Structure 1
Amino acid sequence: MKINGPNQPNFNPYQKQLNNQTELKKGAGNQDRIEISSQAKQMQEGAKVDPARQNYVNQIKQSVDNGEYKVDAQATAKKMIDFWSKQ
Structure 2
Amino acid sequence: MKINNLGPSGINPYKNQMKQQQAAKANQAKSDQVEISSKAKELQERSQFAEARQEKIAKLKVSVENGTYQVDSKAVANKMIDFYFNK
Higher-Rg structure is 1
Give the shorter-chain TM-score range: 0.3 to 0.5
